[in-house]
Structure 1
Amino acid sequence: MVEITEGTHQIGDVSLYTKTWKPDGPAKAKVVFVHGFNDHINRYCEFFPTLASRGIEVHGFDQRGWGRSVKKSADRGNTGPTPQVMSDIVTFIKAQLPSPVPVFVMGHSMGGAQVLSLASDPLYEDLMPSIQGWLTESAFLRFPKGQEPPGLKVVLGRLAGRLLPRFQLFAALPAENLSRDPEVVKSVLDDKLLHGYGTLQQLANMLDRAAALDAGRAKLNKGVKSLWISHGTGDKGTSCEASEAWFARQTHVQDKELKLYDGWYHMLHCDLPSNREEFYNDVANWILARSGTEEPRQVAESKL
C-alpha cells in the first residue's frame, strides 16, 4: 500500500504544489524529482507509485510557472531567472535533509538539465555530500537533429527578452512526439494544466543551461558520487546523442551508468504500457543498489 499526500511548500511569497509517495513501511531511500517543461508532477503514470512499492519515497513539486503552482495566467511559464530556479530546487531538497536514508535527485527533460546544472553549480558544492546520486531522464542538453528552432528566431527572442522578460511564448513540444502510447498522447492534449507557455526569460535561461552543459562549460562538482543517465534513442524532443556525449566526458565520476532505450520516445516513464515497467525497475534497482539494501545489478545494455 502506497501512501500519497499533497501539500504546498512556501518559498518567499510563492506557494508551490507538492506531492509525496511513501512506501508501506520504512523507506530505503528518498528521491527528489524535478519535472520538465510544460509538465507537472502528476503526469508520470505509475512511475512514482512503483518506486514507492519498492521502498523508495518520492518527493515532487510543480515548479514556478507550471501545474498547480500556477495561480493566474501571468504565472504561466514564469520560473524566474536560473538562480531562482536553482534556489527553489535546493530549498525543496533541503526540506528532506538531514535524512536517515540516502537521498537521490532526479530530473526529466528540462528538469534533467536543471539537476545537472545544480550538480555543477559551485554555489551548492556543500550540498553534494548529502546527495547519494543524480539521475536524469531524457535531459534537455540540445534539440535533436532536424528539430532545432530557427537561429534567427532564437536571436530575436533573446533580444526581445531583455525588454520583455515575462512575455509569454507558446513553445510546447507536439504531443505525438512525447510518447508512443496513443492514450498518453490524448491525455497530454486533454490536460488543462499543460498550458505550453514559457516566458522569454525562462526560454532563454533554459537554452543557456543546456548550452553550458552541452559545451562542457558547466562542470560537475567534485563531490558528485554517482550518476545514472537515461535516454530513448527515438526521442524527438531532446537529443539522445547529447546525453551520450555529456556522459562520456564525466571521466572523473567513478560510479556512473548510461542506459539507452532503443526506439523509445521522450517520456520513458509513459512509453508503451508493455515496456514502461522496465524503466521503473531500472531506476529502482540502481537506487536500491546504492542504498545498502540490494546488490548492484549490471544492465547489459548500459554503457559504463
Structure 2
Amino acid sequence: MAVTKTEEAWITTTDGKEIFTKKWKPANDSPVATVVFCHGFGEHINRYCHVFEKFAEAGIEVYSYDQRGFGETGKKNHDLGVTGGWRVSCSDITDALRKQRRSGIPQFLMGHSMGGGLVLHYATLGEERNNISGVIACSPWLDQPPAIRAKWYQRWMGDLGSMVMPNMTITLHVDPKGISHDPAEVKKYENDPLNTGKLAISQLMEILHCGQKIRDTDYVNLTQPLLMAHGTTDPVTCFSASKELFEKAPSTDKMFKPWDELYHELHNEYQKDEIIQSYIDWILKRVGSKN
C-alpha cells in the first residue's frame, strides 16, 4: 500500500474567519487529479480520513476544510451552526478552487449531504464552475425524505424567523442510526465531540429553498461531468430529489448510482470500500489514468 501525506493548516479569510484545512497528498506529490471536498451538516473533515487516504493512494490529491460553523472552525470562532449562508460558502469554495489548482491537472469538486447540495449549487452558479473537470455529489441535501419533511407552516415560520433573527441557531436532530447499518460507525458518530446539531435558521431555510430551486427546469445548468450517488433508503436526505435533479441535468457525461437499501453515509456503510473505489474510478476514467 502506498504511503500518503497529510497536511493540516489554519488559514484566515479576508473577513477574518479562521478556517481549519486538511490536504491528503500522494506520496510522490505528483497527482493525476485534485479534488476540493465539502463535508456535510454538523460534521467535520477528519471523519473522511479513511476515504481520502484511498484517494491519495490512487494518485488523487484532496483538499478540504471544516466549513464555517462546524468542526474545528466553528469551535475556534465560537459560532457553531452559523455558516454565513450559501453566498459565503460559495465564496469559500471559489477561494479553495483557485488556491489549490495545479496547472495542467484536472480539478474536481465533491461534496456529501449539505456539502453535496452546495457543490451542485456551485456547479450552476459558482465563479469557477466552468473550470471544474467534474462534480461528485454524495447523498446531497436537496430535500428531506417525506417522513421528516417540514410542513408548510413550519417552513412559513422558518422564513419568518430568518427575517427577524437570521443567525439564531436551532438544533436539528439527525438520527445516528440513519447514517449507516454498521453499529460501530453509528457509535463513532454519537461519541464524536466535534459533531453538532446546530444550524442558523436562515441557513436552514436557504438550504431548503435552494434544494427546490436547483431542481426547477429553468434553473438547472449542470453541464460538467456529473456523478451522483445516493442510498435508496436514506432516511436523512431525499433519494427521489437526487434522481429528479439528475434526470434534468443537461450534462452529456453523467452517472447516477443508486445504492440499494443503503443509508445516508455511503462511505461508512459495510460496502464502503466498493463505494469509495467507485468515486476514485470515476475520476481516473475522466483523467485518462490507468492507476
Say which SS state the counterpart of residue 70 (structure 1) adopts.
helix
Report the Cα distance in structure 2 between the residues aligned to 1:49 and 1:257, rounded to whole angstroms: 24
Structure 1 equivalent of residue 279 of structure 2: 283
Structure 2 equivalent of residue 189 of structure 1: 190
**Is the Cα–Cα contact under 8 Å of residues 44 and 270 in structure 1 kept in the other structure?**
no
Look up the equivalent residue of 2:96 and give its one-letter code: F
Report the Cα distance in structure 2 between the residues aligned to 1:17 and 1:218, rounded to whole angstroms: 33
Distance change in 2, residues 1:39/1:76 (3 Å):
same
Structure 2 equivalent of residue 19 of structure 1: 22
Report the Cα distance in structure 1 between the residues aligned to 2:19 and 2:76, rounded to whole angstroms: 13
Structure 1 equivalent of residue 150 of structure 2: 149
Look up the equivalent residue of 1:191 and give its one-letter code: D
Question: How far apart are residue 144 of structure 1 and its match?
Answer: 1.2
Please, which moves more after superposition, 139-148 or 59-68?
A: 139-148
Say which SS state the counterpart of residue 146 (structure 2) adopts.
coil
**Is the Cα–Cα contact under 8 Å of residues 45 and 269 in structure 1 kept in the other structure?**
no
**Is the Cα–Cα contact under 8 Å of residues 38 and 172 in structure 1 kept in the other structure?**
no
Report the Cα distance in structure 2 between the residues aligned to 1:194 and 1:10, rounded to whole angstroms: 22
Question: How far apart are residue 84 of structure 1 and its match?
Answer: 1.1
Question: How far apart are residue 246 of structure 1 and its match?
Answer: 0.9
Task: Name the structure where helix makes up a greater proportion of residues.
Answer: 2
Structure 1 equivalent of residue 6 of structure 2: 4
What CA deviation, in whole Å up to 9, does each residue of 1:195-229 have, x standing for no partner? 210011111111122111133353225xx331111
Matched, 1:256 2:254: yes
Question: How far apart are residue 98 of structure 1 and its match?
Answer: 4.4
TM-score, normalised relative to structure 1:
0.90
Question: How far apart are residue 172 of structure 1 and its match?
Answer: 3.3
Report the Cα distance in structure 1 between the residues aligned to 2:32 and 2:102, rounded to whole angstroms: 15
Structure 1 equivalent of residue 100 of structure 2: 96
Question: How far apart are residue 28 of structure 1 and its match?
Answer: 1.0
Say which SS state the counterpart of residue 113 (structure 1) adopts.
helix
Look up the equivalent residue of 1:269 and give its one-letter code: H
Say which SS state the counterpart of residue 104 (structure 2) adopts.
coil
Q: Which runs of 4+ in 1 moved over 6 A?
A: none
Matched, 1:202 2:203: yes
What CA deviation, in whole Å up to 9, does each residue of 1:129-167 have, x standing for no partner? 421101100011111121212332221122122111111
Look up the equivalent residue of 1:160 and give its one-letter code: G
**Is the Cα–Cα contact under 8 Å of residues 29 and 55 in structure 1 kept in the other structure?**
yes
**Is the Cα–Cα contact under 8 Å of residues 226 and 254 in structure 1 kept in the other structure?**
yes
Say which SS state the counterpart of residue 180 (structure 2) adopts.
coil
Report the Cα distance in structure 2 between the residues aligned to 1:166 and 1:21, rounded to whole angstroms: 33
**Percentage of pairs with the same residue:** 33
**Is the Cα–Cα contact under 8 Å of residues 18 and 59 in structure 1 kept in the other structure?**
yes
Report the Cα distance in structure 2 between the residues aligned to 1:155 and 1:32, rounded to whole angstroms: 35
Structure 2 equivalent of residue 28 of structure 1: 32
Say which SS state the counterpart of residue 22 (structure 1) adopts.
strand
Question: How far apart are residue 73 of structure 1 and its match?
Answer: 7.8
CA RMSD across the alignment: 1.6
Say which SS state the counterpart of residue 43 (structure 1) adopts.
helix
Question: How far apart are residue 188 of structure 1 and its match?
Answer: 1.1
Q: Give ranges in structure 2 of 5+ residues lacking alignment.
A: none
**Is the Cα–Cα contact under 8 Å of residues 114 and 209 in structure 1 kept in the other structure?**
no
Count the aligned residue pairs.
Answer: 287
TM-score, normalised relative to structure 2:
0.94
Look up the equivalent residue of 2:18 and give its one-letter code: S
Say which SS state the counterpart of residue 44 (structure 1) adopts.
helix
